[in-house]
Amino acid sequence: MAKVRGTGMAAVNYPTGMNLGGDPSQALIHATTSGSFNVVLAATDLGQGLRTVMAQIAAETLGVPYEQIVIQTADTDTGPHDMGTFASRATHRVGNAVKVAAIEARDAVLQLASEELEASVSDLELDGEGNVRVVGSPDKSLAIADLASRAQFQYGRTIAGRGVWMKPKSEVDPETGAMDPDSTQAYACTVAEVEVDTETGIVTVLSIRSAYEVGRQVNPKLVQGQIVGGAWMAVSHALYETTEPYYPSRDHRPKDFGDYLMPGPADMPAVESVVLEVPSANGPYGVKGVGEMTANSPIPALVNAIHDAIGVRIDTLPVTPEAILRALDAKQAEAAADAPAPAEEASA
Amino acid sequence: MTADLNIVGKSVARNDGTGFVTGRTQYTADLAFPGMLHLKVVRSPVHHARILGVDLSAAREVKGFVRALTHEDVPHNVYTILGLIGVEPEEEFVLAVDRVRYMGEPIVAILAETEAAANEAVAAVRLDLEELPAVFDMEEALAEGAPVVTHWGNNTFIYEGDTKRKVRLGDVEQGFAEADHVIEHTYRTSPIEHAPTETTGCIAVPEANGRYTVYTNTQAIYFSLDNTAIILQVPNNQLRFIGGTVGGGFGGKVDVIVEPLATLGAMLTGRPVRYVYTRTEEMQVSSTRSAEIITIKDGIMADGRIHARKVTALVDCGAYSRQTPYAITKLAANAAGPYRIPNVWIDAYCVYTNRTPTSAMRGFGVTWVTFAHEIQMDRIAELVGLDPWTVRFLNAHRNGDTKPHRKIVADATLIETMQAAAELVGHELPAEQRAMTSAPRDAEGGR
Amino acid sequence: MPSSVVTFQLGDREVEALVPPLTTLQSLLRGQLGHTSVKDGCRQGGCGSCTVLLDGEPVLSCLLPAEDVEGRTVTTLETLTPPDGLHPVEQAFLDHNGYQCGYCTPGMEVLAAALLERNPVPTRVEIEEAISGNVCRCTGYESIVEAITAAAATSQEAGR
């Protein structure tokens, strides 16, 4: 009876987006006469920070401060069509649609500015703080807020943009499975350390350390939210949760949080990570997407670490204390038998 | 490129944070409307049965009872969410007609003045059911003589005339013959509940102009509207869906389960109707991630290269397939892992059993095969006497490689990501692994 | 059975409410009184999203009969939030992204406020124990613990 430690790793990739009847999203942007910009979407923020990320993309493209962006979502009477928030698609597709719309709105700003400043559009730049100026002549500058007001009241012109981004549906060849199911893929590599109590079967997760490659982080702190929350959910999948503890038997199904087990705050180790950015070819500012992948790579890393600790492979999830103890018993029984073959395969 | 960006790449404060930290943000179930009715559902208490009769007489006597909805009230009583994009067949009902196929399947919806009255009326409904044999084990469901769950007679979803989604690259049997080692292992996983802290729910409200507004915590607002319009046989623009604040989704709020019945109730009573899942419904009735049985057979060369990989995946979709046929296609595209393997054979089955229908969940189609192929990689390492990092560097795909589904690899960074992880944990990689990149292989396919 | 009258302090105001039998404190607060920061995650005492303070002590309002607060003081996030600005705990949660979907957040913050009132410099273990009855499905708890730690530090600096 001992506490034994082990280390395990796993490396995975995760695709961005869906291949279900086409995967489009739209966005609409218009300037108010006070120079802020309304971005109208039907996309859904699940709490991961979609409203923030879209505002950042819009602000970046329009060259205005983040605080000048208002995100409105989700109302089908005003927001144009969007497939939904899932498949790690939102930052990529909705972000692309927002960027396209913002480019059209920005071009309207630049066009008006070029007329007022009597300079060609190619000689203008955005200062990122809400002003348009002639390159090399900082005194020849106009505030976008003022341009927006004059557009409405003096020129009768709109400062607005429409954006759509679609990944077309790709048919799947019924014989070969040939298909184009995603726009890009992100990568993760996790190393996990565990300590297994061979008397109780309880696994303590000592550390989860990962590298993630996500194309581009729009908001690093929000990416951290996905990394830590995802690691927690992975620990839960690997060691705790199930709707059918004796699957495929339907007995003892949990009905509330009291019997649907998930790790609590004291059950989690520090989650360390490093994030790489290798911009994708087709995401807004090189974005790939991260929301689902972070819950995947720690699962096999943990199970590989358990094997490193106790010398038994467990191929059934979740790896509960019962599963550990049964695996250890099976290993002991095999070792006790006369057969000289290495006893290292066991299914819970 | 980062140096050129002003706001993208910055950890700016969330623009919706104040509402969350003060508790002022309104979630769907926080809303209330005058005259609002409560909808509760009579659900099958057994796994598989013929419905011989439904007796509403006692329910109608409950004080506060307003109306019952049965399958006869539903204009297009087919609930098949991929039907929007032409995925056949139509297999699930909004309200059961003559059969129930899982414990919890909706049979009757009760509308009442209060939640308590609705619950009391639900309990007063008498069901006359003839129980049928049920099947819970996938391998049993696929065998001869198994109880049949579907209405078309066998327990698999049909992909273009075949019982499985296939991926075929090269020749695996030849590959196994050429390999130095052949190993085969099976991995098993469990159904998982999304368990968001906020349960699924909506409130459907009749508007003065004859339209209906549905406040919902769906993850996909147009998907929900379009499906509801089909079920209710109304023009799409008669409906307005408002949402965008979700207390956790994780894929569990894309099934369009509550909106059709609530909206129907609002249409038939002229009053707002609230249909919000209880925690027990969320736990036991709402869709789950599928359990899977994944068998990986590999032909390995002595140096650790995977020369052939055959993956057989059984995916337990439960009584109705919902989004799972799509998950299986996604699974087939990812089951062999981010590795360059010249011979790949994947068979992925969508298997019906008499359990809660499954649907999308975080990592849909990929989470479980990821688990399987990464345990398998460690087995390969042990088999040929390599460490786990080396076997992965050796097999990692790179730009220009061909994936099993024949898409050419682009934006690859598996190698760089592993290098970064090794550095993070202080694992010293040998020089040749440190020097690797995801750049396309040279003309001879060498390193 | 007839309804009963329950009189109690809700923050700094006195409330007189008419409650039907079997009304929970959660139902009273969310419904009649409009304190929807009190969430409704399970009604089984399993998630903690309904946490409020009763005479300063955390209770699960979904398990408490409304009549039980007669003559006592109930605190919700609404009563803790100042008319303008933020309570120090709220500011800390905002600054440290101690939330994602926000559904567990009111319960966590009410707990944190009660914790810091009785234990102004809690250890990490004490914080973890205090919130161990509250479910978060999004954050993995780290940012919540960080936010509460930061709130404690801020309060210490402010000389509370």
Say which residues have a Cβ less than 8 Å from residue A246's Cβ, sequence separation at least 6: A252
A334 touches chain B (CB under 8 A): no
The SS3 of residue B165 is: strand
Average pLDDT of chain A is 94
Token output for A68: 């000048």
The ranges of chain C with pLDDT < 50 are 160
Residue type, A115: E
Handedness of CA B115, B116, B120, B123 (dihedral sign): positive
Element (H, E) at B115: helix B115-124
The ranges of chain A with pLDDT < 50 are 348
As a whole number of angstroms, the distance between CA B198 and CA B207 comes to: 26
User: Parallel, antiparallel, or unpaired: how do β-strands B291-300 and B273-276 relate?
Assistant: unpaired
Phi/psi of residue A61, each to 5°? Answer: -70, -40
**Which chain C residue's Cα is nearest to B31?**
C36
In sequence order, the β-bridge partners of residue A160 are: A30
User: What's the gap in Å between the CA of C58 and the closest CA on chain A?
Assistant: 18
Q: Please compute Rg for chain C using Cα positions.
A: 16
Residue type, A238: A
Minimum-distance CB partner of C132 among A221, A222, A266: A266
For chain B, the residues whose C-beta falls within 8 A of a C-beta of chain C are 13-14, 17-27, 29-30, 32, 116, 195-199, 246-248, 250, 278-279
Nearest alpha-carbon partner for B94 in B74, B65, B114: B74
Token output for B371: 């688990």
As a whole number of angstroms, the distance between CA B16 and CA B30 comes to: 18
- The active-site residue out of A195, A199, A292, A344 is A292
Entry field: residues in chain C: 160
Asked whether the beta carbons of residue A278 and residue B103 sit closer than 8 angstroms, the reply is: no
Residue type, B252: G
Nearest alpha-carbon partner for B89 in B148, B29, B156, B32: B156
pLDDT score at B444: 59
pLDDT score at A348: 44
pLDDT score at A346: 52
Distance of CA B249 to the CA centre of its chain: 12
Alpha helices by DSSP H, listed for B136-235, are 138-142, 172-178, 221-232
pLDDT score at A270: 86
Say which residues have a Cβ less than 8 Å from residue A176's Cβ, sequence separation at least 6: B166, B167, B168, B169, B405, B406
As a whole number of angstroms, the distance between CA B91 and CA B326 comes to: 15
Task: Tell me the mean pLDDT per 10 residues along chain B, length 447.
Answer: 81 97 98 98 98 98 98 93 70 95 98 98 98 98 95 89 94 98 98 98 97 98 96 97 96 96 98 98 97 98 98 97 92 96 98 96 96 98 98 98 97 98 98 97 67
Active site residue A292: yes
Nearest alpha-carbon partner for A165 in A16, A22, A24: A24
As a whole number of angstroms, the distance between CA B200 and CA B248 comes to: 10
Asked whether the beta carbons of residue B246 and residue A46 sit closer than 8 angstroms, the reply is: yes
Look-up: residue for tokens 């933020």? C86
As a whole number of angstroms, the distance between CA C138 and CA A230 comes to: 8
Asked whether the beta carbons of residue A265 and residue C97 sit closer than 8 angstroms, the reply is: no
Minimum-distance CB partner of B246 among C76, C86, C101: C101
Angle at B192 between CA B188 and CA B194, to 5 degrees: 155
pLDDT score at A219: 98
**pLDDT digit string, tens, across residues B239-294:** 999 999 999 999 999 999 999 999 999 999 999 999 999 999 999 999 999 999 99
ipTM of the complex: 0.97
As a whole number of angstroms, the distance between CA A145 and CA C122 comes to: 48
C-chain residues within 8 Å CB-CB of B198?
39, 41, 101, 103
In sequence order, the β-bridge partners of residue C53 are: C58, C75
**pLDDT digit string, tens, across residues A86-143:** 999 999 999 999 999 999 999 999 999 999 999 999 999 999 889 999 999 989 999 9
A316 touches chain B (CB under 8 A): yes
**pLDDT digit string, tens, across residues C137-152:** 999 999 999 999 999 9
DSSP letter for each residue of A35-86: S-EEEE----B-SS-HHHHHHHHHHHHHTS-GGGEEEE--BTTTSPPB--S-
A-chain residues within 8 Å CB-CB of C44?
256-258
As a whole number of angstroms, the distance between CA B70 and CA B54 comes to: 9
pLDDT score at B90: 76
As a whole number of angstroms, the distance between CA B112 and CA B110 comes to: 6
Asked whether the beta carbons of residue C90 and residue B30 sit closer than 8 angstroms, the reply is: no
**pLDDT digit string, tens, across residues B117-158:** 999 999 999 999 999 999 999 999 999 999 999 988 899 998
Token output for B185: 């292992």
Angle at B8 between CA A212 and CA A111, to 5 degrees: 145
Residues 35-64 of A with CB under 8 A from C: 46-49
